Amino acid sequence: MVYQLQRTRNRYFSEELRREVVAKIERKELSIAQASREYQISAKSIYNWIYRYSVYLKKGIRVVMEKKSQGEKIKSLEERIKELERAVGQKQMEIDILNKVLEFGKDEVGFDIKKKFVGKSSSGSKTTKKNTGTKGK
């Protein structure tokens, strides 16, 4: 059996090309995997170039990237939360006022209006004769 040894050839890439590849990665025109395939360079070499030539991506520095749309979405959701919290606060104030009115009404009338006129609490999940539209069968 004859084994052929394939000698790997050390290729040299100019600094200009290295900086260009790193710039494309920083601008998100290429991913590291795409650059590796396109230029036939190992990912390890590309990472070394990034650590050497990148303005933003240095070794040991963690960069949090988020899409512009995600930031806008988060902002709009935070605004919606504030709006809902205001609405809940207003409704709570209305409930407090109505409870005070019932308290004063109790003193004026002489009996607990809430207990007298408010029926059983319903979970809303059961059907009754009243809300089914049928008269007692």
Q: What percent of the chain has pLDDT over 70?
A: 69
Mean pLDDT in residue range 3-19: 73
Mean pLDDT in residue range 103-130: 69
- pLDDT on residue 74: 86
Check pLDDT > 90 for residue 94.
yes
- Nearest CA to 25 out of 59, 61, 50, 1 is that of 50
CA distance 45 to 27: 19
Sign of CA dihedral 127, 128, 131, 132: positive
- pLDDT on residue 113: 73
Q: Which two tokens stand for residue 9?
A: 């050839």
pLDDT tens digits for range 16-72: 999 999 999 888 888 889 999 998 989 899 888 888 888 776 666 665 555 667 778
- pLDDT on residue 137: 45
Under the banding of pLDDT at 50, 70 and 90, the label for residue 81 is very high
Does this model's pTM top 0.75? My answer is no
- What is the domain partition of the chain in residue ranges? 15-53, 68-117
Under the banding of pLDDT at 50, 70 and 90, the label for residue 83 is very high
